[in-house]
């Protein structure tokens, strides 16, 4: 069974930073598209950032310039560095991996206070 486990969520003040990590069992990260989604209360799950197997990335306009996605295939880990956090970033953040199938992490809560 493939498992994605997020860590690094928590409570942070506006303007602060958090680093999220997602570790995977197995080596599914090496050839897959990876990403981070988030879901705020009462909202649908939305794409935050994606990164290709080759390392190219794309971001939602709302986080561009503030968030950075990266991957370490040797460690089967994808990261999301979040800077200049805003209350609007408050959500459960989910790790995403797409190879032949789609895999989701359990989610980690990020709360940004103002």
Q: What is each CA distance from 69 to 1, 7, 42, 74, 113, in whole angstroms? A: 25, 14, 25, 16, 23
Q: Are strands 57-59 and 46-51 parallel, antiparallel or unpaired?
A: antiparallel
Instruction: Report the C-alpha gap between 32 and 109 in whole angstroms.
Output: 24
pLDDT at 28: 63
pLDDT at 1: 61
Tens of each residue's pLDDT in the chain, 114 residues:
678 999 999 999 999 999 999 998 876 667 889 999 999 999 999 999 999 999 999 999 999 999 999 999 888 899 999 999 999 999 999 999 998 889 999 999 999 999
Spacing of C-alpha 15 from chain mean position: 18
């Amino acid at each position: 069974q493939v498992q994605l486990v997020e860590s690094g969520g928590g409570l942070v003040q506006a303007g602060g930073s958090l680093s999220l990590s997602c570790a995977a069992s197995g080596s599914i990260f090496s050839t897959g598209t990876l990403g981070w989604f988030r879901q705020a209360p009462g909202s649908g799950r939305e794409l935050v950032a994606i990164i290709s197997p080759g390392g190219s990335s794309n971001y939602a306009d709302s986080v561009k310039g503030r968030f950075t996605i990266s991957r370490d295939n040797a460690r089967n880990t994808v990261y999301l560095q979040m800077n200049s956090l805003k209350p609007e970033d408050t959500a459960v953040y989910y790790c995403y991996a797409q190879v032949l199938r789609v895999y989701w992490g359990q989610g980690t809560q990020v709360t940004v206070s103002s």
